[in-house]
Amino acid sequence: MREQCSGAANIKTPTLKIKKCPECNAEIEVFSTDLELKCGKCGFTIYNELESCIQWCKYAKECVGEEVYQRLKKKD
Ligand SMILES: [Zn+2]
Ligand SMILES: [Zn+2]
């Protein structure tokens, strides 16, 4: 099997981060697999800077799996 890039690990094993809503300053839990989500308080949409290989790795489909790849790729 091909060696996996570090970006793929983030997606295979979701990690939880706390972000602050830029609008109302509420704390929001963001999984590393979430592309975007809404603040539970004010509804502001927050975008997650996905640290993954999907944007640049030519093996991304194999790194993260076909299903995940399709879901995240439609960002652009
Ligand atoms: Zn908010
Ligand atoms: Zn990759």
pLDDT for 75 equals 55
Which residues does 15 contact at the CB level (< 8 Å), separation at least 6? 31, 32
The ligand placed nearest to the CA atom of residue 8 is 2
CA of 45 to the centre of ligand 1 (A): 8
Q: How far is the CA of 64 from the centre of ligand 2 (A)?
A: 7
Cβ pair 39, 23 in contact under 8 A: yes
pLDDT class of 28 with cuts at 50, 70, 90: very high
The reported pLDDT for the residue numbered 11 is: 79
Backbone angles phi, psi at 28, to 5 degrees: -125, 135
CA of 28 to the centre of ligand 1 (A): 8
Identify which of 5, 7, 6 has the alpha carbon closest to the alpha carbon of residue 50. Answer: 7
CA of 22 to the centre of ligand 2 (A): 31
3-state secondary structure of 50: coil
Q: What is the pLDDT of residue 27?
A: 96
